[in-house]
Amino acid sequence: MISPALTDALARWLDHCRALAGAAENTIKAYQTDVLGFLAFMTRHNGEMQGLGPISQIAVRDMRSWMAHERGRGVGARSLARELSAVKSFYRWLSEREGFEPTAVLSTRSPKFQRKLPRPLAEDAAVAMIDTVELQARAPWVAARDAAVVTLLYGCGLRISEALGLTGADAPLPAALRITGKGGKERIVPVIDPARDAVQAYVAVCPYPQQPAAPLFRAIRGGPLAPRAVQKVMEQARLQLGLPATATPHAMRHSFATHLLSAGGDLRTIQELLGHASLSTTQAYTAVDTARLMEVYDKAHPKA
């Protein structure tokens, strides 16, 4: 349990993250879950309700106990690093307002983990994926719908939530889309002809009328198309193509970025197209490109 004062403080911090930091709602929920989990552990660990007083007295040994507990229940290094980041952010904000010393929490080292590089598809595999998703559907309009969604992911670099967030008002697709991404950040995304054509082909055969406020992409019964439906059809297609499990909807977005980079696109432009808040996020694609270059080099270089 946590005290009413601490509950109120947590709510105010989340409002701060939402309003000033521009965090997306899914991020806010993750922050809340992570901090509440931490406070629940401290309640059990110290045997008392956590309020503004007790949490200001948390020591290094308490932090070590919490991290050991999390690892003991199977939390991986990456997830624990995310939890610790949320806890530190909350403590930094709270200590500034309550006037206590947060060093024990803020000095806790994040567990080390190896950052995973994006796993894009090869260009021919990305095109084959678009062609093959059409073969999974029984109804022609569903086939056209699935092909249109996957084409948007690869051709425009959209997140699946962004593609499925399009409405009837967006059709026919313009030369550029105004997309609202994570954290409410807007960006302008050029629409290539194949993506525009694929969406128009779907609209032409969709049995449900396109209404400005209704979802552009419809489920079988006319409701909004769920991300899981796209994930499932891509799972079926990748099995047919012999592609790895990493061939997901998000991999199509990764492929968009990597192939642009390979074609000579600059990182700053790709960052804007993807809607990354930080250039460091986009820079992961340089590692992908270098890794691919070295792979080609190793295969082609004559061995002694």
Residue of 265 and 44 predicted with greater confidence: 44
Assigned architecture for domain 123-299:
Orthogonal Bundle (1.10)
Q: Considering only CA atoms, which of 234, 276, 250 is closest in space to residue 153?
A: 250
Degrees to nearest 5, angle at CA 119 with 118 and 123: 120
Q: Would you say 142 and 233 are in contact if contact means Cβ atoms under 8 Å apart?
A: no
Share of the chain above pLDDT 70, in %: 82
Higher pLDDT, 291 or 98: 98
Question: pLDDT at residue 290 above 60?
Answer: no
Strand partners, 167: 215
The answer to whether the beta carbons of residues 34 and 81 sit under 8 Å apart is no
Q: Residue 297 has what pLDDT?
A: 46
Residues near 178 by beta carbon (within 8 Å), at least 6 away in sequence: 186, 187, 188, 189
Number of CB atoms found within 10 A of residue 31's CB:
24
Distances (CA, A) of 222 to 105, 167, 210, 211, 216: 50, 13, 11, 12, 10
DSSP 265: -
Give residue 304's pLDDT. Answer: 41
Locate 58 and state its tokens: 């948390």
Fold classified for 4-106: DNA polymerase; domain 1 (1.10.150)
Catalytic site residues? Answer: 159, 182, 250, 253, 276, 285
Residues of CATH 1.10.150 domain(s) within the chain?
4-106
* Residue 253: closest CA among 87, 126, 68, 136: 126
Report pTM.
0.62
Q: Start-end ranges of CATH 1.10.443.10 in the chain?
A: 123-299
